[in-house]
Every structure is written in structure tokens, then in C-alpha cells.
Amino acid sequence: MKIKMLLFLAILTLGMVSCKNQASQEKSEVANEKPDWVIVIHGGAGNITPERIPPEKEAEYKVKLAEALDAGAAILDNGGSSLDAVEVAINIMEDCPLFNAGKGAVFSADGINELDASIMDGRTMNAGAVAGVTTIRHPISAARKVMEESAHVMLVKDGAEQFALGQGIEIVDPSWFYTEKRWQSLQKAKQREAEKKADLTKKSGTVGCVALDKHGNLAAGTSTGGMTNKKYGRIGDSPIIGAGTYANNNSCAVSATGHGEYFIRNVVAYDISARMLYANMTLNEASNEVINHVLKEQNGSGGIIAIDNKGNIAMPFNTAGMFRGYMKPGTEAEVFIFKDK
């Protein structure tokens, strides 16, 4: 009997050790799955279909998206901060006339390019934004200066431009942002308005970036020209922390694009983080619930890009397409435009 008991205890002990070792191995495997860094970008969402974008134009978009990803990834791979990666990636898109941000931004009803941007640091929960600016070449860089060099979160119009000038941010003549394509879009919008054939405002995209660096810090940024033919100093969600941009190391980093009024009303970027923190949802669950249920039920259109603190990514949208892409260590840039690719 004693021998049987000793044998039983020995087997039980070995089993416990085996289970413990297995659990440790599983935990290690999960931890090893977290990438050293991740970067995700978007260039706007909307009625983006193969019929509207011919193959040669599709190729142009993909080249520029890949360029932005490569620039941000190089910073992250060298141990740089997520904030630096976000700023540099968005700078590239702000200088590209393909996107509605910086050069190539849409025109307001007054025939002016009015630019908005915001950035947020997931480590400190600090944030900065500028809105309604007309002479700042890189609004995202100005937003970062607001975050780091002022006691405020958002500066607007002339005040934001005076602050940016004092901080050494590049100032340009408003003509820098002009493109003939956007100007003609304004003329068409005004004609449709006169004929009462369409809404007074037309959404035309945004650019954004979220990143996770080697130090485990998240950051998010968004930049836009807003809506074609917008009036009365309208401001959308892009410069509003919690609506168009949000980052928290305890949950995720989010950048949004779409019909800003709906993103503001639903505090979309923050809501995704809150669902993760308070409802124990995964990033994928939270972002899909907000974009494909909450917004769709209100006829709100758009999408988001997001990264959680484990390096998981999400890129849901409820429109025909969204310019988007991501990159991780050891891979080339993956870029997509339409629903199925």
C-alpha cells in the first residue's frame, strides 16, 4: 500500500511539474509573438472603388503609402520613438497631393485650404492639436509642438500659426497647398449646391498613423484638410483628442477617418480604448463594434487604424474602400485600398 501511495505521489508531482513547464512555455510563446515594433497608416476612407481608381493611379497610391511606412519603420527599427515614426510618416503624406492633408488638401467654401491635425503620446497621455491653419506646411509637426512646448492641447487659426512660427515650424504661402484637382472639386461642389443636388459638404479623406515602438510606447496622429466646401470655420474630428485620435499604453492607439461629425458625437477613438479597458474586449472586437455597428446604425461612414499594446492591429472600415497599410519587423510594407485587397 505504501509503495502504491509513493508511486501515486511521484506521478502526481511529475504531472504538476510537467503542467507548470507547459504553462510557462505557452506564456513564453505568447510573449514572443509580440513584435518589437509595428506601424499602421491610413490615407482616408470613402467611396474608393476600382472603377474610380484606375490601375496606374492605384499604383501611385501604393507607392506613396509604402514610402510613408518605410520611413516610419526605419525609425522604429533603429530604436526610435513611436511619436517620431508617426510624425515622419504623416509628414510624407502631408506633402503628397494624392491625399487630403497638407499639399492637396481640399478647399473650403471661401476657397482656402484649412488644415487640422492632432497627435497623442500613449506613454504620458499628453496630446496636441492645431485647427483651421492655412500657412503651416506640416500641421502634424505643429500639433506635436503644441503637445511638447505649450501648456495647452489645441490651438487654432492665427494663434496656432503664431505659435508654430515661434517654434521654428515651417511656414509657407497658402498657395503651397493648391492643386488643380482640389480646386475643380470645389467648383463642382458649389455647382451641385446651387442645383440643390447634393449635401453642402463632401468628405474627402484624412491621413493618419499609429505606432508601437521597441520601448512599448504607443502613439497616434491624424492630419486633414477637412471637407470640400466647408463653411463657418467647421472643424471635424481629426484635431479632437478622443474623437479622431487617441493613444493609451494601457490599451491602444487609434487614428480615424470618415464623416467627422459622427466620430465626434461617438468619441470613436476613445470608445475603442474604453471598450478594451472596461469591457475586456479585444482590439478587433472593440474596433469592429464601433465602426461596423455603432456608426453604421447612425449612417456614419469611415474607418480607423489601431494598434494595441501587444502589437495586434485593426483596420476596419464601413465604406467601399480605405487607403491603409502596415509594417512589422522583417517584412515589407503591406498596403491595401479596396475592400478585398
Answer yes or no: is 278 within a domain.
yes
CA distance 249 to 310: 10
Show the domain range for 157: 35-338
Residue 28 lies in a domain: no
Residue 57 lies in a domain: yes
In a domain, 24, yes or no: no
CATH number at residue 135: 3.60.20.30
Give domain status of residue 9, yes or no. Answer: no
Q: Give the model's pLDDT for residue 340.
A: 72
Q: Is residue 280 part of a domain?
A: yes
Check whether 278 has a pLDDT greater than 60: yes
C-alpha span between 79 and 61 (Å, rounded): 28
What pLDDT is attached to residue 200? 42
Mean pLDDT of the chain: 90
Q: Which three cell numbers stand for residue 324?
A: 491603409
DSSP string for residues in 151-219: S-SEEEHHHHHHHHHHTT--B--GGGG--HHHHHHHHHHHHHHHTT-S-S-EE---EEEEEE-TTS-EE
pLDDT at 196: 79
Main-chain dihedrals φ then ψ at residue 42, nearest 5 degrees: -140, 155
Counting every residue written for the chain, the total comes to 341
Express each pLDDT in 59-118 by its tens digit: 999 999 999 999 999 999 999 999 999 999 999 999 999 999 999 999 999 999 999 999
Average pLDDT over residues 229-244: 96
Q: Report CA dihedral (132, 134, 140, 142) to the nearest 10 degrees.
A: -90
Nearest to 135 by CA among 89, 95, 177: 177
Residues labelled catalytic: 206
| Other Cβ atoms within 10 Å of 290 Cβ, number | 26
Task: Give the pTM.
Answer: 0.88
Question: Is residue 126, in this structure, part of any structural domain at all?
Answer: yes
Grid coordinates in use for 65?
503609402
The count of domains in the chain is 1
In the predicted model, what is the mean pLDDT of residues 123-147? 98
Residue 318 lies in a domain: yes
